[in-house]
Amino acid sequence: MAPSNDELTRTVQGLLTRVQQLEDRLEIQQLQSRYIHYLFKQRFDRIVDECFAKRLPDVSVEFSDSGVYRGLDSVRALYRSFDVTKTIPGFFILHMAVNPVIEFAADGLSARSHWLSPGAAGSDRSASWIWGTFYIDYVKEDGRWLIAHSNLVPVFRNRYETSWAQAPDHGTVRGVLSAPPDEPITLYKPYNEAKKQCDMFKDHPDLPRPAAKR
């Protein structure tokens, strides 16, 4: 027997919610990829407009020992200051982001995520491996997912010539960037220091867990 119109309506309402959730997940994945491609290809002028939240007072970015850039003006100044890398021959920064664990708030308007990041950076004179974790929050503004908070916390960032275990230091991102951060480093420790600890990640945030069902 065919279900009543009411039953069918309820089923379709359920599908609308589930399809929205699938779209949200894939849209966030593509947003994150878009950010990474722009960074790698030095399209810094596109990053804030296309990838970051505009109406979140505490929007933020942090990576390695950068400190925290907080607020839209600081985030814009940061990516503007990356433009100087276009004057460095052979410059690239390649931070991939894989294995996302993304969990949504109950209202479906924000999400927390952890990613893993294999990566490399270079210029005509130097080559480094940069591998670690991305901790990223997203928010939906006007129906569009954007980055709310991003923190890239490398486990190692050693020069190619010396392994992460042997490297006496793991460099700094502070040399190139003129824009000053607003707050100190939160999580990152260079591996030459971190490696003295056991259970190195014990102060890192817990993997996001599912919210109660929307």
Touching a copy of itself, residues 48-87 (CB under 8 A): 86-87
Site for a copy of itself in 152-191 (CB under 8 A): 155-156, 159-161, 163-166, 191
Mark 114-153 with x for binding to a copy of itself (rule: CB under 8 A) and - for no binding.
Answer: x-x-x-x-xxxxxx---x-x--------------------
> Rule CB under 8 A: is residue 105 a binding residue for a copy of itself?
no
Nearer to a copy of itself, 34 or 76 (CB): 34
> Rule CB under 8 A: is residue 207 a binding residue for a copy of itself?
yes
Name every residue whose Cβ is closer than 8 Å to that of residue 157 and which is 6 or more positions away in sequence: 64, 128, 129, 130, 131, 132, 170, 171, 190, 191
89/163 Cα distance (integer angstroms): 25
211/214 Cα distance (integer angstroms): 8
Cβ atoms 76, 57 nearer than 8 A: no
Cβ atoms 61, 67 nearer than 8 A: no
> Rule CB under 8 A: is residue 15 a binding residue for a copy of itself?
yes
Among 25, 81, 105, 110, which residue interacts with a copy of itself (rule: CB under 8 A)?
Answer: 25
* Interface region with a copy of itself, contact rule CB under 8 A, candidates 54-62, 67-75, 176-184, 196-204: 196-204
150/193 Cα distance (integer angstroms): 23
Among 77, 96, 105, 185, which residue interacts with a copy of itself (rule: CB under 8 A)?
Answer: 96
